[in-house]
Amino acid sequence: MTKIGFIGLGNMGAKMTLNLLKANYEVIGYDINKESVNNLLAKGLKQATNLSQIAKFADIVITMLPNGDIVEEVYDNIIDEFAPGTLFVDCSTIEVNKAKQLHMKCENKNILSLDAPVSGGVGGAEQATLTFMVGGTEKAYKMMLPLFEVMGKKSLLCGSFGSGQATKACNNMLLATTMIGVGEAFSLGQNLGLDPKKLFEILSTSTGSCWAINSYCPIKGVGPASPADDDFRPGFSADLMLKDLTIALKAIESTNTSAPYGKNSRENFERMVNANQGSLDFSAITKFNK
């Protein structure tokens, strides 16, 4: 069976790794946080004490790391140690141009690569319902597909190198903008004396229907359980949303795209984070803007 290396065993990576272990894959993991590694050892994870051990062991290496600079550092540290044909899959969310640069580094070493950021948050990682937005070659995608199916409910090869990150930038810009609009709609409804539960019934089944209402309603006690029912304990933090919107802004600027609402959303989340509210779930933006 395919041997897997997993680098980055934080909130997302640990749960993705656990699903691979449950499917009886052989996984060796590395994280600078030893506690993250130790929590998985009893589940069958093999521990790597350095990145070179990952390179020597794995047929496929998956990274889930905080930013593009860290991903690049990992690639640069071990890319020369891989056998040709090894597959590098980055599930982090990083800049589109950075993803393309990393693909070229792999291609120059005869190493396969995919950029495959995810949507679904910690809950999706735990329940194996993530969506993978994938950029790369058909050959690399087919090699990775069985693992995508273990860790998520959907994966799509969106195009060539960087297409996964480009798709993620578009998705999260839309999500941020939509969530702000949902908050404004419920705020207006409250000021007009509407029952929020009845407003939800209409919005969730009419032309205003969207994921931010139907599955992640930011109003306590309204709709399915969401972070709003738990003091906005994060499934996906405002800090992370600001990071993703900053990535989207770079793409907007580099392509001269007109996206005033996307830019405005980033400004709103920047104010929220600067007010020391970044650890809250991103849906708390609906309360912060009041």
Confidence check: pLDDT of 286 > 80: yes
Identical fold, 3-160 and 166-288 = no
* pLDDT at position 288: 83
Cα angle vertex 106, ends 58, 118, to 5°?
70
Which residues are part of the catalytic machinery?
A: 168
Q: What does the pLDDT average to over 197-203? A: 98
pTM of the model: 0.93
Query: In the numeric block, which tokens belong to residue 274?
Result: 């600067």
Q: Whose CA is closest to 5, among 22, 17, 15? A: 17
- CATH code, residues 3-160: 3.40.50.720
- Alpha-carbon gap, residue 282 to 288, rounded angstroms: 10
Confidence check: pLDDT of 199 > 90: yes
| Superfamily (CATH H level) for 166-288 | N-(1-d-carboxylethyl)-l-norvaline Dehydrogenase; domain 2 (1.10.1040.10)
Q: How far is CA 105 from the centre of its chain?
A: 23
- Alpha-carbon gap, residue 159 to 133, rounded angstroms: 9
* pLDDT at position 35: 87
Give residues with Cβ within 8 angstroms of 116, minimum separation 6: 89, 90, 91, 132, 133, 134, 135, 136, 144, 148, 155, 164
Q: In this structure, what are the phi and psi dihedrals at residue 192, rounded to the nearest 5 degrees?
A: -95, 5
Confidence at 237, pLDDT banded by 50, 70, 90: very high
**Average pLDDT of every residue of the chain:** 96
Confidence check: pLDDT of 290 > 90: no
Q: What does the pLDDT average to over 65-88? A: 95
Confidence at 150, pLDDT banded by 50, 70, 90: very high
Q: Where are the domains of the chain?
A: 3-160, 166-288
Burial label for 241, CB within 10 Å (0-12, 13-18, 19+), is buried
